[in-house]
Amino acid sequence: MGIDAGFDMVPRLSTGATDRHNWDTFIRIIKDMYKDDTQVEIKPNYIEFNAGEHPMLPFEGHKFLRFSSKISGSCANVEIYIDTVRRVAEVHFGSRVKYWNEIADPCGVYDWKLVHESFRSYEQRDEPEPIASIAQLITGTDPIQNIGIPLFEIAKIPGKGRGLIARLNIAKGTRILCEKPFFTVASMSPNVLEPIIAKRLRAISKDAQRQFLSLHNNYPGKHPFSGIFKTNALPCGPDSPVGGVYPTICLINHSCIPNSHNNWNDDTDHETIHANRLIKAGEEITIAYNQEGDTATRRAWLTNTFGFDCNCPACSRSASEIRVSDARRLRMKKLDDDIGNGDRMVRRPKDSLKDCHELLKLLKEEYDGCAVVLEARAYYDAFQVVITHGDQARATGFEELEDEENDDTKGTGCCEL
């Protein structure tokens, strides 16, 4: 037991230039103040105070949430550090520094789980992110999202009909769209589906009916509604037999190396689209209707399932580039199968981990750094391998990497743009 005390940074600092500059200055002053104090240790990515519960200050300010420790009993020697660091922090960050003491307040502003997550993130430096705008560089967030300017326009795309074009640079992880389907229905033969869709259409507004009927149809004929459904429906979750049709999301064309990711949110019954990487203004926004297999397999699947011949950048590569890509995808499939072998994971965990490592490297090469969902899966596999062998520390690291990738593709659950 004992009394906790310390301070929280509220709101937390951004990755923008101003906050970074203030934090760097603050850290420089702290280092200078304690340069002769043997209890204050400079680690590669943070400063550790070897007193009380060893509070820390990371070199990356946006990771910092709390500086605190128990201050009673054997921990009493830490109180002077907390007090001094807090005063210096107040000079730089003013009222963002919220002092708390367990005697007066129950505890700080942040939940301990979040605080412990932030501590773990100190260990490794973040990869620098490509910046979408000057404003993002300064403020650390992409302000375009907050002012409601449409991120895309609908335009004609050569060889593909209509599509979505980015009007501005869109930062990785940005939620581009969040849409409710006109309706959802299980896929079935056209003659059974046709009257079911007709009934669903009668239940929606005239405007929505018009939008549905304006969608592309690769299967014109006696079952027009089913044709539109088959051309446009996206499954409501991976492997779901139920599909949804959307006013705008259904205008997004396919790419075998997509720059965005679509995700069905079961809690809100919405489909979301997030940027996988920085999308430059003028670039087409794409998702993958399916990403699996070598070039021929993917193209055959797209023709059979959606009725079109894919002309995305991956399928339009030269024959020699396609050979390299196909060999890589084949190797990735083999690695994925081997990693999924539970017996091997138990008996030869080092081999399984080596496979995860190679898979992550190949994913980065093949998808040009935008395979976030597949990378999240590989991190999850690595997590499984190490947790099976009781390596909690490494498991936590892989879990965090998986969470980061998932946050970039699924967002945090809210359906507002």
Q: Which residues bind ligand SAM (CB under 6 A)?
A: 159-163, 215-216, 218, 231-232, 250-251, 253-255, 306-308, 310-312
| In the complex, least distance from residue 246 CB atom to ligand SAM, rounded to whole angstroms | 9
Nearest to 326 by CA among 297, 349, 304, 295: 295
- CB-based closest residue to ligand SAM: 161
Is there a contact between 173 and 407 (Cβ–Cβ < 8 Å)?
A: yes
| In the complex, least distance from residue 254 CB atom to ligand SAM, rounded to whole angstroms | 4
Nearest residue (CB) to ligand SAM, 27 versus 273: 273
Query: What is the number of alpha carbons within 13 Å of residue 63 lying toward its C-beta?
Result: 19
Nearest residue (CB) to ligand SAM, 22 versus 218: 218
The Cα 359–Cα 288 span in angstroms is 19
The Cα 35–Cα 42 span in angstroms is 9
| In the complex, least distance from residue 306 CB atom to ligand SAM, rounded to whole angstroms | 5
Element (H, E) at 264: strand 260-265
What pairing do the DSSP bridges indicate for beta strands 270-275 and 260-265?
A: antiparallel
Nearest residue (CB) to ligand SAM, 144 versus 164: 164
The Cα 218–Cα 228 span in angstroms is 7
Is there a contact between 401 and 264 (Cβ–Cβ < 8 Å)?
A: no
The Cα 51–Cα 124 span in angstroms is 23
Nearest residue (CB) to ligand SAM, 52 versus 227: 227
Handedness of CA 336, 238, 142, 97 (dihedral sign): negative
Cα angle for residues 241, 245, 246 (degrees, 5° grid): 140
Nearest residue (CB) to ligand SAM, 108 versus 227: 227
| In the complex, least distance from residue 216 CB atom to ligand SAM, rounded to whole angstroms | 3
Nearest residue (CB) to ligand SAM, 44 versus 159: 159
Nearest residue (CB) to ligand SAM, 265 versus 311: 311
Question: Distances from the Cα of 59 to the Cαs of 22, 36, 145, 375, in angstroms?
Answer: 11, 19, 28, 27
Nearest residue (CB) to ligand SAM, 140 versus 243: 243
Nearest residue (CB) to ligand SAM, 226 versus 352: 226
Beta-bridge partners for 182: none
Is there a contact between 104 and 143 (Cβ–Cβ < 8 Å)?
A: no
The separation between CA 163 and the C-alpha centre of its own chain, rounded to angstroms, equals 23
Instruction: Give the SS3 label for residue 135.
Output: helix
